[in-house]
Amino acid sequence: MFFWHGAKNDKEKQELPIARGNDYEAVALLKAPTAWPVYLNIGGVYKGAYNSDFGIQKGEQIKVEPGHIFESKLSLEIPLRYHLNLLGESAYYYTGAKKIADASIPGSAGSALDLLAGLNWSYGGWNIGAGIAFGILNQQLASFDLERGAGDELYKFKISYLLVPRSPER
């Protein structure tokens, strides 16, 4: 899979800066041929540099270079009755050092290791699941990215429906 996260600039008069550069994410998805589905996802995120005023109105735009991220996930589904699956997942992330105005930020590089346990129901194209994740490695950096790293704990809920194209009936 390949994702592009488009650049986003700070908005004027915004006290909380929300900015990012052009980010590119590539992930390889692998499935082991086992009785219980085992998946391995491995890849990385190239984080593009951006300019920010850090929420200071009329402040100087400063160049921010976020650290690139390496990511890997290993997950297991254990089928139960009634279309239920018990889920287990471990996720490891490593991020490089962050730079602001060409100065490396001490302690901004690090790794996170999270474990997730959950329950999932899949039937007729529907997929509904819930789980809880815990950060267990290097708690200081376990939440270095809001989309990655569970920190102390993170509750997840998802619902999806698979749309399958059908050929017109004759």
Rounded CA gap, 158 and 130, in Å?
6
- Segments of 14-167 assigned E as strands: 23-32, 38-46, 50-52, 62-65, 69-79, 84-95, 99-100, 103-104, 110-123, 126-135, 154-161
Contacts of residue 48, defined as CB under 8 A and 6 or more positions apart, other chains included, come to 7, 20, 21, 22, 23, 24
Low-confidence ranges of the chain (pLDDT < 50): 142-147
Contacts of residue 153, defined as CB under 8 A and 6 or more positions apart, other chains included, come to 132, 133, 134, 135
State the pLDDT at residue 148.
52
Do the Cβ atoms of 136 and 151 come closer than 8 Å?
no
State the pLDDT at residue 142.
45
User: In terms of Cα–Cα distance, which of 21, 19, 26 is closest to 5?
Assistant: 21
State the pLDDT at residue 30.
93
Mean pLDDT across the chain, nearest whole number? 83
Do the Cβ atoms of 21 and 9 come closer than 8 Å?
no
Rounded CA gap, 19 and 89, in Å?
30
State the pLDDT at residue 159.
94
Torsion of Cα atoms, 100 then 4 then 128 then 166, to 10°: 180
